[in-house]
A and B are shown apart, each in its own frame.
Chain A
Amino acid sequence: MSDTTDTASEPTADMDTVPGHEPEAPSVADARREAHDIWVSGTEERFPFSTATNEGAQEMLPEADDPGAAMQAGIAVDDDYTSEPTVEPEERQIINMGPQHPSTHGVLRLHLEIEGETIRRVKPIIGYLHTGMEKTAETLTYAQGATNVTRMDYLAPFHNELAFSLTVEQLLGLEVPERASAIRVLMTELNRVSSHLLWAATQGMDIGALSMMIYGWRERETCLDFFEKTTGLRMNHNYIRVGGVAADLPDGWEDDVASLIATITVGIDEYEELLNDNPIFIDRTMGVGVMTPEECKQYGVTGPMARASGLNWDLRKTNPYCGIEQYEFDVPTGLHGDVFDRYIVRMEEMRQSLRIVQQVMDTMPSGDYRSEDRKVTPPPRKRIDESMEALIHHFKLFTEGFRVPEGAAYQSVEGPRGELGCYLVSKGGARPWRMHWRAPSFAAVQALPVMMTDSLLADVVASLASADPVLGDVDR
């Protein structure tokens, strides 16, 4: 493609005004694309997706009836399956994938209607991990709530706790100390790194790069070791709570974080060395599973997937929380919205997160790690030994809980998978009246047909892994 480099150099037209970081990585990707003579979407006029469904979910634009639309943009190689379907509909077959399937990242089930090797229709079926967390939350106090929500998106427990705590704090009108906010930023950014490492591991594994899986897991363990040291648990921490965090950082945390940053930075370079020049990886990811920015907006797809499509939208920039605006970082965006761009974006995001972690480490304020508001925060352990009132106060706080003023609030954080939002309704009691979660994976799973329709059967796992759905997040 001759115009590939031209498109890469000029800013995307429909982008938000927030100036984004132009990472070096996409230009590397463009060079690869040219070298391999791959026809890539995003550099051409985007064609709407032609689907044979009447379910509504998979029809994108009114031009979908256009016969030329069957020449779907975003397919890597010029092959038979991009041309007009010649097979009669009754010759199609439906195959079932999941819910027990190694590549579905949990218990996702897909109905695939295939025509030879080409997928013509996809229907995601979810609910196999429905845990009833939103109902259980109505029986738990606000202090217990973080225990519940941390098990939702189990790869990003800190983000879940943060979104929940911020929403309750919004209803309470509570300000948290600076140190608590800084610890929150530190832990959530490290969590983003660990989550992306696991994504890299599973993406590699799903498309056959098994060594990537071993490496990703190796580096993730260094993050988990630090989490365990700080919170006491490897996962499901219940660390970020309403009013601050549960405990201060352990002694010598600076050394741990510094060695962690050094290890993972080297690790990310190694992965890029392993995958960027890997012809199999490139062939299996470039031009596969394309989503346009318009489709991302329509389906509510956020996070790295939307950024890979070229939407410069990161809640840490557009709606900063916990003082994250004082740290310097860039938002990487892709151009083509395919699996390879999602890989590039996530790799760069890990680097940016480590950059934030480094800055938090350098500027960590002193002070309290949780709010001094005695309505929310239990008295310190030492006070309980000395004072009867403190003991009673502690007891009341953990049996009855604190009351939250009547109202409704929505707050979202930029999770590793996109906008993770919590909608809370309070009726003035000590327990939420209703807790609704805006789960990024839910939107991503809904958008799977857009990525998969009219692509090859083998690309299903590549597209699926690049969406990085966590089924605990989807089904809740």
Chain B
Amino acid sequence: MASEHVSESTTDDALVASVLKDADGATVVEQQYASSQTRYHRVAVPVDGYVAAVSAAKDAGFDMFVDLYAVDHFAQAPRFEVGVNLVSMSANHRIIISTRVPYDDPTVPTVTGLFIGANFYEREAYDLFGIDFPGHPDLTRILLPDEWDGYPLRKDASVGAIPVQFKEGSVDL
């Protein structure tokens, strides 16, 4: 059952270490889910080693693509974070490999060559954060209209709330 995998955290550590053996400057954080005994790893790598780390993870058995996200850290440099969420079904373990890029060059190499499913997710990150993914087959806006100006989920973009006008009731009844 699943519990066989759960207790073997040392195996998971070895697995994550094997993913990162060629990645320089990687930092690893181990976290535990709430209401659960299971753990997962969050790994931060420099942008140069990002695709290599994802590729190594895929070779190490993390062959299920789950998610790709972007974060705007605004006041911190480098400003943007992009992360890939991968799952190894055989080892029953999750790894989140993230990288940071600066504001003046928000360029992250695409992982669509490794996981086709990253296509829409990278388009979403491009649409909402303006992060460029060189090598992506079709990097266009996905959620917003094509003619949209700006990147709404950046921290310096406003929420776009329109103040509610409390008008008098209509009198021409």
Q: If the complex has contacts A139-B159, A408-B42, are A321 and B34 also in contact, measured as CB distance less than 8 A?
A: yes
Chain A min CB distance to B38 (Å): 5
Size category of the A interface is: 35 or more
| 9-residue interface stretch from B16-24, B89-97, B100-108, B163-171 | B89-97
How far, in angstroms, from A126 to B119 measured CA to CA in the complex?
A: 13
Q: Are A127 and B1 neighbours in the complex by a CB distance under 8 Å?
A: no
Task: Kindly identify which residue among A127, A323, A443 contacts B35, using a CB–CB cutoff of 8 Å.
Answer: A323
Q: Are A127 and B142 neighbours in the complex by a CB distance under 8 Å?
A: yes
Q: Which residue of A lies closest to B98 (CB)?
A: A408
| 9-residue interface stretch from B7-15, B49-57, B110-118 | B110-118
Collect the chain B residues with CB atoms within 8 Å of residue A408's CB.
42, 71
Confirm or deny: A115 has a beta carbon within 8 angstroms of a beta carbon on chain B. no
Confirm or deny: B2 has a beta carbon within 8 angstroms of a beta carbon on chain A. yes
Confirm or deny: A368 has a beta carbon within 8 angstroms of a beta carbon on chain B. no
How far, in angstroms, from A59 to B38 measured CA to CA in the complex?
A: 35
Q: Are A299 and B117 neighbours in the complex by a CB distance under 8 Å?
A: yes
Confirm or deny: A136 has a beta carbon within 8 angstroms of a beta carbon on chain B. yes
Q: Which residue of A lies closest to B119 (CB)?
A: A57
Q: Are B117 and A135 neighbours in the complex by a CB distance under 8 Å?
A: no
Q: Are A135 and B119 neighbours in the complex by a CB distance under 8 Å?
A: no
Confirm or deny: A130 has a beta carbon within 8 angstroms of a beta carbon on chain B. yes
Confirm or deny: A402 has a beta carbon within 8 angstroms of a beta carbon on chain B. no
How far, in angstroms, from A267 to B32 measured CA to CA in the complex?
A: 40
Collect the chain B residues with CB atoms within 8 Å of residue A134's CB.
128, 153
Confirm or deny: B126 has a beta carbon within 8 angstroms of a beta carbon on chain A. no
Collect the chain A residues with CB atoms within 8 Å of residue B48's CB.
none
Q: Which of B39-87 contact A (CB under 8 A)?
A: 40, 42, 63-67, 69-72, 83, 85
Task: Kindly identify which residue among A311, A410, A434 contacts B72, using a CB–CB cutoff of 8 Å.
Answer: A434
Q: Are A446 and B119 neighbours in the complex by a CB distance under 8 Å?
A: yes
Confirm or deny: A170 has a beta carbon within 8 angstroms of a beta carbon on chain B. yes
| 9-residue interface stretch from A94-102, A280-288, A419-427 | A419-427
Q: Are B92 and A16 neighbours in the complex by a CB distance under 8 Å?
A: yes
Collect the chain A residues with CB atoms within 8 Å of residue B72's CB.
434
How far, in angstroms, from A167 to B33 measured CA to CA in the complex?
A: 8
Confirm or deny: B109 has a beta carbon within 8 angstroms of a beta carbon on chain A. no
Q: Are A421 and B67 neighbours in the complex by a CB distance under 8 Å?
A: yes
Collect the chain B residues with CB atoms within 8 Å of residue A170's CB.
31-34
Q: Are B42 and A299 neighbours in the complex by a CB distance under 8 Å?
A: no
Q: Chain B, 122-151, contact with A by CB distance < 8 Å: what is the 0/1 string?
A: 000000100000001110011111000000
How far, in angstroms, from A436 to B64 measured CA to CA in the complex?
A: 19
Q: If the complex has contacts A19-B1, A325-B2, are A300 and B65 also in contact, measured as CB distance less than 8 A?
A: yes
| 9-residue interface stretch from A200-208, A312-320, A344-352 | A312-320
Q: Are B142 and A126 neighbours in the complex by a CB distance under 8 Å?
A: yes
Task: Kindly identify which residue among B67, B138, B141, B152 contacts A423, using a CB–CB cutoff of 8 Å.
Answer: B67
Q: Are B116 and A438 neighbours in the complex by a CB distance under 8 Å?
A: no
Q: Chain A, 298-310, contact with B by CB distance < 8 Å: what is the 0/1 string?
A: 1111100000000
| Top 6 A-B residue pairs of the complex, sorted by shortest distance between their CB atoms | A56-B137, A170-B34, A127-B143, A299-B117, A438-B67, A169-B34
Provide a sorted-by-A list of 13 A–B residue pairs whose CB atoms are within 8 angstroms.
Answer: A55-B138, A56-B137, A57-B138, A126-B143, A130-B143, A132-B152, A174-B34, A299-B117, A300-B117, A410-B96, A423-B69, A443-B120, A476-B143
